[in-house]
Amino acid sequence: ITACQEAGIEVIGITDHYRVEESVGLVQAARAAGLFAFSGFEAVAKDGVHFLCLFDPDKDDFLERFIGECGVHDTKAASPTGSLDSIELLAQAKRWGAMCVAAHVAAEGGLLKKLNGQPRVNAWKSPDLLACALAGPISDAPENIRSILENKDAEHKRNRPVAVINASDVNSPGDLKKDGASCFIKMSTVSIEALRQAFLDPESRIRL
């Protein structure tokens, strides 16, 4: 929390793999210190793709139920895989009122690395996918997926591009100083709806 404050971080998302109990203390402490903390969890879809599922604070008491709806009932397992594939999970998250971000999209477990062919096209072009997380600038992304992120690849081209944000894992205070750990998102007030609006207009509302 101190490192966040020193780095000028005002908003954080706290997501563990299909579990929330161990994060409650951090969420409460962050909010008490004046940070806005989205609670949530990291979901691993049936097809192996990782998503960050973020929720407004008024959904805190429902997160365990949402995890159960993903087909995960043993929260002690180290990194369980859910029963919903990527498209199903994105649709379910929309019903929950959550925002799903395709995590570390170019790395292991990332949508553009884990999936290939038509399954990747279908997941990437899902209207429920609004944002993905990348470890740095798009120009540094692997060449084979850079054109997809730029919305220039014909097969993956969308009417509205997927917003790219920097939201790498922060496992220690020092990680906040790494490139790709945070970015600027313009919001009048902080909420899931405000995130959605920003992701729909990334050109004017997001700076990596």
**Is the distance from CB of 93 to CB of 100 less than 8 angstroms?**
yes
Q: Is this model's pTM higher than 0.85 or not?
A: yes
- Block residue for tokens 């072009």: 125
CA distance 78 to 71: 15
What are the pLDDT digits (tens) for 138-164?
999 999 999 999 999 999 999 999 999
Q: What three-state secondary structure class fits 166?
A: coil
CA distance 81 to 85: 10
Q: Is the pLDDT of residue 9 over 80?
A: yes
Q: Give the length of the chain.
A: 208
Identify the pLDDT of residue 79. 80
What are the pLDDT digits (tens) for 66-94?
999 999 988 777 789 999 999 999 999 99
Rounded average pLDDT over 164-187: 94
Rounded average pLDDT over 169-184: 93
Of 128, 131, 124, nearest in space to 183 by CA: 131
Residue 18 is encoded by which pair of tokens? Answer: 């299909």
Which of the four pLDDT bands, split at 50, 70 and 90, describes residue 190? very high
Residue 51 is encoded by which pair of tokens? Answer: 């998503």
What are the pLDDT digits (tens) for 30-62?
999 999 999 999 999 999 999 999 999 999 999
What are the pLDDT digits (tens) for 102-119?
999 999 999 999 999 999
Identify the pLDDT of residue 1. 96
- Residue 6 φ/ψ, nearest 5 degrees: -65, -30
CA distance 20 to 68: 12
- Block residue for tokens 């594939």: 85
Q: How far is CA 194 from the centre of its chain?
A: 15
